[in-house]
Amino acid sequence: MRVAVDALGGDNAPGEIVAGSLAVARKLPDDEIILVGDEATIAPRLADAPANVSLRDARGVVGMEEDPAAALRSRPDSSVAVAAGMVRAGEAEAFFSAGSTGAAVAAALLKIGRLEGCRRPAIATMMPFDEPVLLLDVGATVTCRPQDLLNFAILGSVFARRYLRLQNEPRVGLINVGEEPGKGDELAKEAHMLLAGSDAIRFVGNVEGGEIGRGAADVLVTDGFTGNVVLKTAEGVAREILGMVREAVTSSTAARLAAGILRPRLVAVRDRVDPENYGGSFLLGVRGSVVIGHGNSRARGVENALSGLSRAGSGLVEELEGALAADRRQRTGDAV
């Protein structure tokens, strides 16, 4: 797989982005990493780069506070725009950016385009439970239609099967305020009917917030507003609990001694909920593989995000488009 990496996007760019890219290039010698960014700044960092790393010059950066679409139009030579353009031109199969999420989504839509039949894309991210759960959308499409949620379910099901190496069809759940089909607002009710009637997914019904982490489904679908709140809340609660544990185990000599014994288990729990374990979220619904990293990504997060692209594998976009087409054929046949 050839991956274009926005080397200028993110709080810790370019140093951590380049370091993570070099690490994955050494680990995956059959993949090609193309760093996109200011040549004068990045070239000196590539003195010991492996042969499967190259550099594409780009000069601008889209800031977090800027309007993404306007910035991309005014600065077509920005690193995220150039990286997305490489996917459109066939020079790369995927691109990664830890910069502005809005800019990455806008660049993908403007430069690469949507899959046929997919009105809006979705950002899919892994929730770090004992049994990993794919949650989408977490912010790409804030206001959704029922058909959008069905498309998200189809996209997420295909992706989860490949990424999680599932033997059976992924179980798809719809986040809602109750388990019964008639619960929720009009969007939830209409989406439930569409999901239940689709042969493209294995729908298991509504999933309440308290059941999200209990293995009720492999894929959880919702609109981008709700999904973003769920994700940020989960990450925030995890940080607070870890902070409370840290405070408790350092509160006295006896607690510190006990913590020494428990340290390997506590570190394992900390690492499990660390977002850098996955490194980024996939943008599904566009004609290329796109991974959006956390704004504060370090080298380990970048490495894991790029490894995730390799894990999802080549041919992902074609399979996603085929699944959407199969659902359209089924629904057209049902209508006839």
What tens digit of pLDDT does each residue of 125-153 get?
Answer: 988 777 789 999 999 999 999 999 999 99
Contacts of 43 (CB under 8 A, 6+ apart): 55
Find, among 266, 329, 307, 316, the residue nearest to 289 by Cα: 316
Q: Provide the pLDDT for residue 85.
A: 94
Q: Provide the pLDDT for residue 269.
A: 67
Q: Tokens at residue 66, please?
A: 């800027």
- The dihedral built from the CA positions of residue 62, 67, 69 and 74, taken in this order, carries a sign that is negative
CA distance 328 to 165: 26
Regions of the chain short of the pLDDT cut 70: 266-279, 334-336
CA distance 145 to 200: 18
Q: Provide the pLDDT for residue 334.
A: 62
| Phi and psi, residue 93, nearest 5° | -90, -20
Q: Provide the pLDDT for residue 80.
A: 93
Q: What's the pLDDT tens digit per position in 259-307?
A: 777 777 766 666 666 666 666 899 999 999 999 998 888 899 999 989 8
All domains in the chain, ordered by first residue = 1-118+285-314 (3.40.718.10), 120-276 (3.40.718.10)
Largest CA distance in the chain: 74
Q: What's the pLDDT tens digit per position in 199-215?
A: 999 999 999 988 888 88
Amino acid identity, residue 136? L
| Phi and psi, residue 207, nearest 5° | -130, 120
